[in-house]
Chain A
Amino acid sequence: MKKILKRVAIAVAALAVVGFLAFLYLIPPFDLLPREAFINPHAAAVAGSLQSIADPAERALAERGQYIMSYSDCSDCHTPQGDQGPNWDEFLAGGAKFQTRYTGTVYSRNLTPDKETGLARASDEEVKRVLRSGVFHDGRIMAPTTMPWPAFSNMTEEDRDALVVYLRHIRPVEHKVGEWSPQTPNALYYFYAYDYAEHPAKK
């Protein structure tokens, strides 16, 4: 009897180990999920909010902007992550952390029109300047490591404007986002953030 129990125990243990290894092998990423699971549902998540725009011209612009936003992949970086994937309640509210050896730690910005923490603080022209030239409101050039603005600079001015109109009409979310912190003094990002008044060039 004991022998049988022992054998069963060994079998169970072996099965558990094999099962665990198989589990490790198969768990995401990415083998167990259907392909649809990777399709970003963000467009559907906010589609309702554009219908409430009173001005039909503004609505048409915002719809164009929404389309541009979805294929340009904005929400992958700018929607914060919850326990069950992207937190769609905080759509485009930023806060994703990017840690790199050469740029230090940066956080994706809050793109919702929140007055305290979001894009409401920036003028349309300031937002467009980031999308066009990668230049922040303080004159710093954004490293394309954190946002591929050189690609977005190829947009027509009219599409860029539509995108900004869209961003003005998504639901504002109060979400304070961390500031950039250079972790190494010779981070190349420093090159972009270089303040020539405080750091006179070395001869």
Chain B
Amino acid sequence: MRRNSSGVARVTTVFFLFLFSSPLRSSPPDEAGPTTDLGRSIYAARCAPCHGSTGQGNGPNAGLLNPRPRNFTSGVYKFRSTESGSLPTDDDLMSTVKNGLHGTSMSDWGAFIHGDSLKAVVAYIKTFSPKFQNDRPRPIRVTTPVPMTAASIEAGKKVYAKLQCADCHGTDGAGKGVVAGDFKDDWNYDIDAADLTQPWMFRGGSTPRDIYIRFKAGVDGTPMPSYVGTATDKEMWDLANYVVSLARKPAWKMNAGELKDFYAKLDLQAKANPIQRGRYLVRTIGCGGCHSMYDDSLGIIEGTQFSGGLTFELYPFGNYTSRNLTSDKETGLGNWTDQEIKRAFTQGIARDGRKFLPFPMPWASFASLKEEDQDAIVAYLRTLPAIHHKIPDPEKPNIFSYLWGKFRMLVLKEQFPASAHSMKPVDDGGKPVSVLSGSQARPIALRSVDAKEVQR
């Protein structure tokens, strides 16, 4: 009998189901009026999955997103047409909802939310922060644009040097300045300096006017300041023109030769900075989704990402807990060699020679990663700050219940839903405790593992 690896490995998405194992958090305070009702219901359907039903930017989807969804309760908004530290105008908020924020997972909702609905949802979002009741937005004054000419671009280049933009954004504008790399926003999440050569990634738009407004308004909550007082309006217009001129051709417009060079350059960059490449791969693959702990409100607990602790109950094979990937020597990967880590995630063999199940860890797919990408992932995992978090060994059933389970599965063709639950960080005895255990258990039926598929 040949086992179908794919069939079972599908449970790799199993962990997400965990997110759905508890009811939603309590709603924000009630506000009277039909507009609020409309706004609230749109918010619940479209916004709460990421921004959270209490507006704190911690919805079930938030944990893996970079940058993180906006926390509406702080009243701090990055993309405004108002003075630094001021609230955004309604038009700013509506424009963000309508057009989305490029380079983030904020979608362009214009096709689905418009007219009264758009106004209602913006009004509802504003109820999350008391600032909107006590304060008013102070819009900036947009002066007459300086036309895009060679002289203006040349002048902008000088402003770029004068304002030391290159420190963060790099001399070529590609976001790799000398101090770039360790930025955190006010909420202590990692952020990167914008790559000015990719205008399709500019959150707040890529016209000279959009960029000029960004200089004048700043990006609140990040190291990007407002340049009011530091630079004149003309200088900011020149700078905006210069930034527009930095744009490179996107890959989808390149010809074959340019693409070849482009990918070769990317490979070179990856080789020069494997940690950066590894971070990208780890984020796009979503390692943190399983190798983290979750709180009761179904968000990843801050500071536990990559430290493991999500237990998969896979009857009749036992309970398997995701491992600690951080560089902790005792409980993490600190003492593993590079080869051992690579063998684990590409061949499913642990350091002690124990074999992984082919699910939920999809190591078979990671086998298709190129050697240098595997190295990059290892390099990034080495940089994860050590978190001491002991993960229990897999709990395997005794031989009788294992055989009985196999019999039910393969002969009686019964189906056993898998399930997952998170653990508390560490209790007093040092033994992790299930958040969803005992009477509070809300075991979730994950995808039913079809007995027939397992049999194949």
**Which A residues are within 8 Å of any B CB, using their own CB?**
21, 24-25, 27-30, 33, 35, 37-40, 43, 55-57, 59-61, 64, 67, 70-73, 75-77, 79, 81, 83-86, 96-103, 129, 132-135, 139, 141, 143-148, 150-159, 161-162, 165, 188-189, 191-196, 199-201, 203
Number of A-B contacts (CB under 8 A): 260
C-alpha spacing A156/B269, complex, angstroms: 15
* B72 within 8 Å of A (CB atoms): no
**How many B residues touch the partner, as a band?**
35 or more
C-alpha spacing A67/B21, complex, angstroms: 34
22 residue pairs bridging A and B, Cβ less than 8 Å apart: A24-B403, A30-B357, A35-B347, A57-B256, A60-B259, A72-B284, A77-B10, A84-B2, A84-B4, A97-B450, A99-B417, A99-B445, A129-B108, A133-B107, A134-B49, A151-B283, A154-B64, A155-B284, A157-B201, A196-B38, A196-B41, A203-B30
Interfacial chain B residues near A161, Cβ < 8 Å: 250-252
* B454 within 8 Å of A (CB atoms): yes
Given the interface contacts A57-B254, A99-B445, A102-B20, does A153 sit within 8 Å of B105 by beta carbon?
yes
Given the interface contacts A30-B358, A154-B284, A162-B251, does A38 sit within 8 Å of B5 by beta carbon?
yes
Are A144 and B19 interface neighbours, CB within 8 A? Answer: yes
Interfacial chain A residues near B17, Cβ < 8 Å: 100, 102-103, 145
Are B445 and A25 interface neighbours, CB within 8 A? Answer: no
Are B6 and A188 interface neighbours, CB within 8 A? Answer: no
Majority-rule SS of A interface residues: mixed
Would you give the shortest CB distance from B14 to chain A, in whole angstroms? Answer: 9
Interfacial chain B residues near A159, Cβ < 8 Å: 284
C-alpha spacing A30/B23, complex, angstroms: 36
Would you give the shortest CB distance from B373 to chain A, in whole angstroms? Answer: 8
8 Å CB interface, B26-81 against A: 30, 37-38, 40-42, 44-46, 48-49, 60-61, 63-66
* B155 within 8 Å of A (CB atoms): no
Interfacial chain A residues near B368, Cβ < 8 Å: 40, 43, 67, 70-71
**Which B residues are within 8 Å of any A CB, using their own CB?**
1-10, 12-13, 16-17, 19-21, 23-24, 30, 37-38, 40-42, 44-46, 48-49, 60-61, 63-66, 100, 102-109, 111-112, 117, 198, 200-201, 250-252, 254-256, 258-260, 263, 280-281, 283-286, 289, 317, 347-349, 355, 357-358, 362-370, 373, 399, 402-403, 406-407, 410, 417, 444-448, 450, 453-456
